[in-house]
Amino acid sequence: MPKKGKIFVISGPSGAGKSTIVKELLKLAPDLVLSISATSRKPRAGEVDGKDYFFLTRSEFERKVKENYFIEWAEVHGNLYGTPKDFVNENLQNGRSVILEIDVQGALKVKETFEDAVLIFIEPPDFEELERRLKSRSTDDEETINLRLQNAIYEMALAKYYNYRIVNKDLKKTIEEIIKIIREEEKK
């Protein structure tokens, strides 16, 4: 019987650097698998269905909620997002650790179901830098950016429930720190 994998949840305010970190993390630690979420949000330029997200209409998403398809789901910045159950469970059974890049509400729900899930919160160095990163990404309009900045205050207040908090200043150092946490937690 292979050792069971662990869930590692990565959260943090929009623009803190989660997607960038996860992308690099998977290159450096290819034994980890990333759970692809479903969302009712419209794809951004360059986003691919089944790779970045499973893009669903709101009604398709709501049907899947009724079918108990998700481990957790939440409304974030006005859209629905959820983690498909089967993919996560199959990988855990096969002894592989799974990364979930999800919001704070989802993270707390995951922790209720999977007690040994490890929650990692990514913080920006400060609010001004968060705003700068959101603007430099050029993926969202001003209204969307403002909504995400407002939500950052609420999200930061929930960071205290996480097992680890990391300030993403130097990207390379952040990734090294996360890999160290994952390897130590996998041994427990």
Chain residues that interact with ligand 5GP, rule: CB under 6 A? 11, 14, 37, 41, 72, 74, 76-77, 81-83, 101-103, 105-106
* Rg (the chain; Cα; Å): 16
Question: Which residue, 11 or 97, is less far from ligand 5GP as judged by CB?
Answer: 11
Q: Which is nearer to ligand ADP, 85 or 137 (CB)?
A: 137
Burial (CB count <10 Å: 0-12, 13-18, 19+), residue 29: middle
Binding mask 117-156 for ligand ADP (x = CB under 6 A): ----------------x--xx-------------------
89: helix, coil or strand? helix
Q: Which of 171, 176, 180, 184 binds ligand ADP (CB under 6 A)?
A: 171
What letter would DSSP give residue 51?
T
> Quick one: which of 5, 17, 82, 106 contacts ligand ADP (CB under 6 A)?
17
